[in-house]
Structure 1
Amino acid sequence: MYPPADPTVERGGSLAFVSRFFPPQSFQLTGVVQALPTTDSDPPFLPDWQVVHVPGHAPGQIALFREKDRTLLGADAFATANHESVPSLLMQVPCISVAGAPFNYNWTQVRESVEKLAALRPENIGCGHGPVMKGVEATEGLSALAREFPMPTRGRYVQQPARLDDNGVEFMPRPP
């Protein structure tokens, strides 16, 4: 179970409005996928890739980074399309930005995850939302997002995050 979306988050754009209608549960993949080892940064069946834990948006979220060609699969730690603009999102205009603001349940962790990924200096980026980005535009765009992270000043999870455990949502702050 995910924490409920936050339609009140600052700069949530039109996604904040429609987030009210999204179900809080994800696909149940138990029995279909295997957990990655938590003590090894080299995931099985993915030679040369390292696992990077990037919490804040989705429980257990990871990114994958390959040093030899500086490729980052960033999951939903950030996006490569502007989620605050419907036209930009629909047209998939390349732009490094915060991913799905209404769905971020721990803003401090989201910012720290972006900073961690920016420190890798990736040159090729693929994310859960948006087009693939390459070169200086990708590297500098992620660095700029980390440096100037737009921490919201209002929203359900801004002052106090939701807390999760192995069973799902353990604590929810009150809605505004």
Structure 2
Amino acid sequence: MENQFIPATSVNSGRVVSIKPDIHMFTVQIVNLFFVGDQQGWVLVDAGMPRSADNILKQTEQLFGEGAKPKAIVLTHGHFDHAGALEELVHRWDVPVYAHEMELPYLTGKKDYPKPDASVEGGLVAKMSPMFPTKAIDLGGKIKALPADGLIPPMPGWRSIHTPGHSPGHISLFRAADRVLLAGDAFITVKQDALYNVLTQKKEFQGPPRYLTTDWEAAKASVRRLAELQPAIAATGHGTETAGQELTDGLAHLVAHFDEVAVPDYGRYVDDHH
């Protein structure tokens, strides 16, 4: 996977946004990853696109100084655009990786992800999706299951929330103290299947990326669960950050109209939902 360059990008590629003094969102081509913490200790949340390790290492040094490395890497899920540089980063940094127990088969070489659904209702990115890698990676002894109680050992003050649908072990991360939500792909703020929207990062509240989502019932329940947390700020795996009334209204609308907005009219995984 890590050798396969995916020719997709957006206007925000290379952008760093400090959502909070200790949360920096870094956009790699079309996906966001997060540096959470400070000089005293930090964690990388998600690991970008294939062949992006050097980019991520460069950004790490800019934020935390030469030779800096995280306490751990925490994955929202293991799809290629969130774990693309994972093997190389683990090799360079020699740190543990945490993911939900239900995501481990895809990260220990036991099971490949389902093939993307190019037949799904959607734009050009959906049509390109068969070229996206789905093969399992094997992190061996480096991968650890997140505790079932929602605690994240290397991230005090944060909780993992199981938000399946897009993948079986998808999680979102929530910090109750300031109600910051890192939603992964449970919902996103760009229409990820439409190439123009991805390139321009046109903001709209959407369900998870259509071509890789296999369980729409679970996806809908996950969005509802996140809305109930009443986050003050949210950052997602794709698209730009959102806060305040825009976030409250956007999530409420997505929950109320999930079937029309998020669920495609047709596709391999849709029939189970309708």
Choose between structure 1 and 2 for higher RCO, CA contacts under 8 A separated by at least 6 residues.
1
Within 5 A, what are the aligned runs for 1:2-41? 2-10=113-121, 12-38=122-148, 40-41=149-150
Match of 2:154 among 30, 42, 45: 45
The structure number with the bigger radius of gyration is 2
Contact 2:182-2:235 at 8 Å conserved across structures:
yes
Unmatched 5+ stretches in structure 2: 1-111
How far apart in 1 are the matches of 2:138 and 2:241? 27
1:59 to 1:29, Cα distance in 2 relative to 1, 3 A:
farther
How far apart in 1 are the matches of 2:183 and 2:190? 13
Is 1:66 the counterpart of 2:178? The answer is: no
2:217 maps to which residue?
Answer: 108
Deviations 1:64-117, CA, capped at 9 Å, x for gaps: 111221111101111121224322221223322123101001111111111111
Structure 1 residue 27: deviation in Å? 4.0
1:86 maps to which residue?
Answer: 195
Structure 2 residue identity aligned to 1:147? A
2:227 maps to which residue?
Answer: 118
Contact 2:166-2:214 at 8 Å conserved across structures:
yes
Structure 2 residue identity aligned to 1:8? S
1:139 maps to which residue?
Answer: 248
RMSD: 1.8
Match of 1:127 among 224, 233, 236: 236
1:165 maps to which residue?
Answer: none
Structure 1 residue 43: deviation in Å? 1.6
Contact 1:71-1:124 at 8 Å conserved across structures:
yes
How far apart in 2 are the matches of 1:55 and 1:29? 22
Contact 1:107-1:158 at 8 Å conserved across structures:
yes
In the superposition, the TM-score normalised over structure 1's length comes to 0.82
In the superposition, the TM-score normalised over structure 2's length comes to 0.54
Is 1:157 the counterpart of 2:269? The answer is: yes
Give the count of matched residue pairs. Answer: 159
Percent sequence identity over aligned pairs: 39
SS class of match (1:34): strand
